[in-house]
Amino acid sequence: MYFFDSRVRYSETDEEGKLGIPGIVDYFQDVSTFQSEDLGLGVEYLKGLGLVWVMSAWQIVIHSYPRLGERIRVGTFPYEFKGFMGLRNFFLDGEDGQRMAEANSVWTLMNLEKGIPARPTAEMIGRYVLEERLPMDYASRKIAVADRGEAKEPFTVGMQHLDSNHHVNNGQYIHMAMEYLPEDFAVGQMRAEYKKSALLHDTVHPFVGVGEGTVTVSLCDGQDSPYAVVEFARAKKKQN
C-alpha cells in the first residue's frame, strides 16, 4: 500500500468550501503517479519504452467530502494484472481514520507507436505489490446508455484540458460532465467510462440523460461516438 498525507487547500475547494469530486480525482491520480515514480516505473520509464497507462474506467464512492483545512490521507494499491489491464484501488481517509471516499479503477497499457494494448513488463509485475482489493460494492466498468438525452452546446478542447500525453486528461472529462449537474445534486457515486482520446481543438458534443437518481453525460465527437461517458448517482443522504 502506498499513501501520502495532505491538507485540503483553499485552492482545491469548491464554492461550498469542500474538496469536490474533481479534487478527489486529482489526489487519486497524484498518489498513483507518486507510487510509480518511487518504484522507478513512472513517466520517464514508460516514455523510454513507448508505453503509457490509459484510464479505461473509474468508480468513485463518496461517503463525505473533506473540508478546507482538513487533514487527509490518500492511498492506493494495485490488486490485479489482467492481460494488458491493471486494476487499482484508491482511498481517502480523514484525520480520524474514517473512510471518506474509495475508488476502483481500470487502466490499459498502450503501445504508443502501434496504438495497441501491451502487456505489463517484467519490471512492472515484479515491483508493483498486489494486495487484496477493497471491500466495496463494485459496479460494472461499462455504463449502459439507453437514451443519451438532451443535446447541449458543443465546445472545443483547449490546452488546459490536456495532459503530458497531449490527450484530454481523464479528470478533465469529469470537470466537463459536472457542468450539467443540477445545483442541488449531491453526488454519492461517480462512474466514468473512457472510450477514446480527445485531442486539442477537437469539438465535444455533450448529451445529458436524467434517470432515477442519476445524471449521465455522454461527451461525444461529431459523429455521436463517445470520448467518455460519465454517470453521477445522487447520494442517499446529503453529504457533509
Domain match, 168 and 124 both:
no
Domain match, 225 and 125 both:
no
Domain match, 48 and 92 both:
yes
Domain match, 149 and 109 both:
no
Which grid coordinates are listed for 5? 498525507
Tens digits of pLDDT across the chain (240 residues): 999 999 999 999 998 999 999 999 999 999 999 999 999 999 999 999 999 999 999 999 999 999 999 999 999 999 999 999 999 999 999 999 999 999 999 999 999 989 899 999 999 999 999 999 999 999 999 998 878 899 999 999 998 888 777 788 888 999 999 999 998 899 999 999 999 988 899 899 999 999 889 999 999 999 989 999 999 999 986 555
Closest by alpha carbon to 220, among 237, 200, 202, 201? Answer: 202
Domain match, 82 and 165 both:
no
The answer to whether residues 38 and 187 touch, using CB atoms and an 8 Å cutoff, is no
The reported pLDDT for the residue numbered 21 is: 92
Domain match, 127 and 188 both:
no
| DSSP of 50-118 | TEEEEEEEEEEEES---BTT-EEEEEEEEEEEETTEEEEEEEEEETTS-EEEEEEEEEEEEETTTTEE-
Domain match, 9 and 96 both:
yes
Per the structure, how many domains does the chain have? Answer: 2
CATH number at residue 41: 3.10.129.10
Domain carrying residue 231: 142-240
Domain match, 124 and 9 both:
yes
Domain match, 7 and 107 both:
yes
Say which residue the cell 445534486 belongs to. Answer: 185
